[in-house]
Amino acid sequence: MIIVISPEKTIKNEINHVKTMLDHGLDLFHFRKYGMEKDDAINYLAQFNLHYFDRIVLHTHHYLIEHFSINRLHFNSMARVNNEYKGHIEQYALSTSTHSISEFNNMGSEWDYAFISPLFPSISKPGYGNQSHLMEQLISISNKDVRAVGLGGIHKDNIATVLQNNLSVALMGSIWSQSNPSDYFLSCKKSADCLYKI
C-alpha cells in the first residue's frame, strides 16, 4: 500500500496532481491541512468526484465527514492519547501515528494502520530523523492486528527497502518537493511494482 500525505500548504495544481495519482494506483490520500479555514477545506475537497472519497483520509478537519462521503479518519499521537477517536471506532476506518516500535506494538485492533516514523531523515523537516534507528528496529514489530506504514524520508530510491521489511509506505516531502509531483509518484510506484514482480 502506498499513501501520499498532502503538503501542509497548498501548491499549484495540487488537486490535479492528487487526482492523477489516485487514477494511477495511489491507495490512499491523506488530507492534512493544519490551519486551513473550513470554507477553504470544503472547497478543496469539493473538487473531487464522489468515486475518490473512499480513498481520501481526513488527517485534519474531521468534522468534514458531515459534508462528504469520507469514511477514513486519522488521529495524530496527541489526539489518540486524548481519546479523540473513541466515538468513531464503529463507523470509520481509523489510522494514527507512532514514533517507536514499542508504541506501535501497543496499538489495539481498532486501528486499521499506524505510521511509524521517522524511518529516514525527513525531507520536509530538515534535521528531523537524523538520529533515528527505527529501520534497524523493525525486526521487533510484533503487532499483527495493525498494518505498519513507514513514514519519513522515503523516496523512489529507498521505497523498495521499506517494502521489503513488510511495511506499507507513506510519502510526503519527496513527492511535493518535485516540480512534477504526480510524475514522481509514478516513479515511486514503478519502483514498488518492480519489487513485486521479482
Which domains are assigned to the chain? 2-197 (3.20.20.70)
| pLDDT for the residue numbered 130 | 57
Q: At how many degrees (to 10) do helices 181-197 and 14-23 cross?
A: 20
pTM of the model: 0.93
| pLDDT for the residue numbered 192 | 85
Cβ neighbours of residue 86 under 8 Å, at least 6 residues apart?
Answer: none
Beta strands in 38-181 (DSSP E): 56-58, 72-75, 93-98, 111-116, 147-151, 168-171
Closest residue by Cα to residue 58 from 35, 74, 45: 74
| pLDDT for the residue numbered 180 | 97
Strand partners, 149: 115, 168
Question: What Rg, from alpha-carbon coordinates, does the chain have?
Answer: 16
188: amino acid identity, one letter: C
| pLDDT for the residue numbered 198 | 44
Q: Per-residue pLDDT tens, the chain, 198 aa: give them.
A: 999 999 999 999 999 999 999 999 999 999 999 999 999 999 999 999 999 999 999 999 999 998 999 999 999 999 999 999 999 998 999 999 999 999 999 999 999 999 999 998 767 666 655 556 788 899 999 999 999 999 999 999 999 999 999 999 999 999 999 999 999 999 999 988 876 554
Q: What are phi and psi of 132, to 5 degrees?
A: -70, 140
